[in-house]
């Protein structure tokens, strides 16, 4: 795994030129690029193809600030582009504004200044507490999300079972939440979030209450689901190891006011485990920055 600390400006990019909106990249498309003067008849020289157009970001956060009433500024001038299919971890100390930012992306609240663009289909949200309906079985909890999405009654059962199977919970489909472990409940919550079939999945410390082994298992399952579904994931955590284990990009937020201070792009994301040396090395680097940020705030 290689890591590349990016600028602290907040103008984040998942990959070279992957973050800007399509309209700003109109000049970089194959159609708009002037043809190379080196035609095919030019012996032994192959014209370089025009660069592929950069995809529009799935989520664009542009100069966003947030203040609750007359309270202090919670978020200040946050800008972040998240590419389609990207897995971004938002990391920061408690109270720095991670949940506030996630709620703004989810359109559960409005920014005081700036703009947020998300796909027209919106985003699914998964919180730390699974918030399942206690009187419904795992399957029926997932079916409820399918019903709200407008999936016809006759198709819901099979679809719900497929989603529960995707999170390794097929055997527990007929159990109710109180009969499930915390990890199983979060799996149902993940299946329910996937049932909403939104291109963007926002996760606010979904595994924070779980023990280390269960969390490790759920990391693997989430990674598998992410790779299989191509969802764009924004994952909030204050656990550095978790961010280094899961993210393609780790975005570190500072506190008071909340803003982006640094980010790391992880080139090789396959085969990572929480105990992998590269995850440990990146965690040390991120923790150093996080400590500096916390000290700066305490000063």
Residues engaged in binding Mg ion (CB under 5 A): 99
Cis status of the peptide bond prior to 164, with omega within 30 of 0: no
Strands (E), the chain: 3-6, 59-67, 73-82, 87-92, 113-117, 123-126, 200-204, 232-237, 249-254, 259-266
Q: Are 29 and 296 in contact (CB under 8 A)?
A: no
Contact of residue 71 among Mg ion, ligand ATP, none (CB under 5-8 Å per partner type): ligand ATP
The CB-nearest residue to Mg ion is 99
| Partner from Mg ion, ligand ATP, none contacting 21, C-beta within 5 to 8 A by type | none
Residue 259 binds to ligand ATP (criterion: CB under 6 A):
no
Contact call for residue 95 and ligand ATP (CB under 6 A): yes
- Exactly one of 79, 99, 168, 276 binds ligand ATP (CB under 6 A); that residue is 99
CA 266 from chain centre, in angstroms, equals 14
When asked if residue 90 is in the footprint of ligand ATP (CB under 6 A), the reply is no
Backbone angles phi, psi at 288, to 5 degrees: -55, -45
SS3 166: helix
Which residue in the block uniquely carries the two structure tokens 């157009």? 53
Shortest distance (Å) from residue 204 CB to Mg ion = 6
Region of 244 on the Ramachandran plot (φ > 0 left; ψ -120 to 50 alpha; else beta): alpha
Residue 266 contacts which entry, Mg ion, ligand ATP, none (Cβ below 5-8 A, type-dependent): none
112 near 97, Cβ under 8 Å? no
Residue in 14, 64, 96, 225 binding ligand ATP, rule: CB under 6 A: 96
Minimum CB distance to Mg ion smaller for 6 or for 294: 294
Nearer to ligand ATP, 68 or 135 (CB): 68
Residue 207 near residue 201, CB atoms below 8 Å: no
Report in angstroms how near the CB of residue 40 gets to ligand ATP at its nearest.
56
Measuring CA to CA, which residue among 149, 217, 157 is closest to residue 181? 217
250 scored as a contact of ligand ATP (CB under 6 A): no
By C-beta, is 146 or 252 nearer to ligand ATP? Answer: 252
- Which residue's entry shows tokens 């708009």? 32
From 92-100, 155-163, 165-173, 284-292, give the range in contact with ligand ATP by CB under 6 A.
92-100
The distance of closest approach from Cβ of residue 196 to ligand ATP in the complex, given in angstroms and rounded to an integer, is 22
- Provide the minimum distance between the beta carbon of 68 and ligand ATP in the complex, in angstroms, as a whole number: 3
Whole-number Cα distances in Å, 220 to 77, 272, 274, 285:
34, 9, 10, 23
- Determine which residue in the list 215, 238, 241, 259 makes contact with ligand ATP, applying CB under 6 A: 238
Residue with tokens 């998942």: 14
Rounded CA separation 245/266 (Å): 10
Query: Can you tell me which of 10, 55, 92, 111 binds ligand ATP, judged by CB under 6 A?
Result: 92
Positions in the binding site for ligand ATP (CB under 6 A): 68, 71, 74, 92, 94-100, 238
């Amino acid at each position: 795994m290689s890591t590349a600390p990016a600028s602290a400006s907040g103008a984040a990019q998942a990959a070279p030129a992957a973050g800007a909106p399509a309209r700003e990249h109109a000049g970089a498309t194959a159609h708009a690029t002037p043809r190379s003067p080196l035609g095919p008849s030019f012996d032994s020289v192959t014209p370089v193809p025009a660069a592929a157009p950069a995809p529009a970001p799935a989520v664009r956060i542009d100069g966003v600030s947030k203040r609750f009433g007359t309270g202090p500024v919670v978020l200040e001038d946050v800008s972040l582009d998240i590419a389609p299919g990207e897995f971004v971890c938002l990391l920061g100390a408690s109270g720095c504004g991670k949940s506030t930012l996630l709620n703004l992306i989810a359109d559960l609240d409005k920014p005081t200044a700036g703009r947020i663009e998300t796909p027209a289909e919106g985003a699914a949200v998964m919180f730390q507490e699974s918030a399942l309906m206690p009187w419904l079985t795992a399957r029926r909890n997932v079916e409820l999300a399918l019903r709200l999405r407008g999936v016809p009654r006759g198709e819901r059962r099979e679809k719900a079972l497929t989603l529960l199977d995707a999170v390794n919970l097929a055997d527990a489909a007929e159990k109710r939440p109180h009969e499930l472990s915390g990890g199983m409940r979060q799996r149902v919550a993940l299946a329910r979030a996937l049932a909403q079939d939104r291109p963007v999945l926002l996760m606010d410390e979904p595994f924070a209450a779980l023990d280390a082994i269960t969390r490790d298992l759920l990391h693997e399952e989430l990674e598998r689901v992410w790779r299989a579904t191509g969802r764009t994931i924004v994952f909030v955590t204050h656990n550095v190891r978790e961010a280094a284990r899961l993210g393609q990009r780790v975005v570190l937020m500072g506190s008071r006011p909340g803003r982006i201070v640094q980010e790391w792009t992880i080139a090789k994301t396959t085969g990572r485990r929480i105990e992998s040396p590269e995850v440990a090395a990146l965690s040390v680097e991120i923790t150093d920055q996080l400590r500096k940020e916390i000290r700066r705030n305490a000063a």
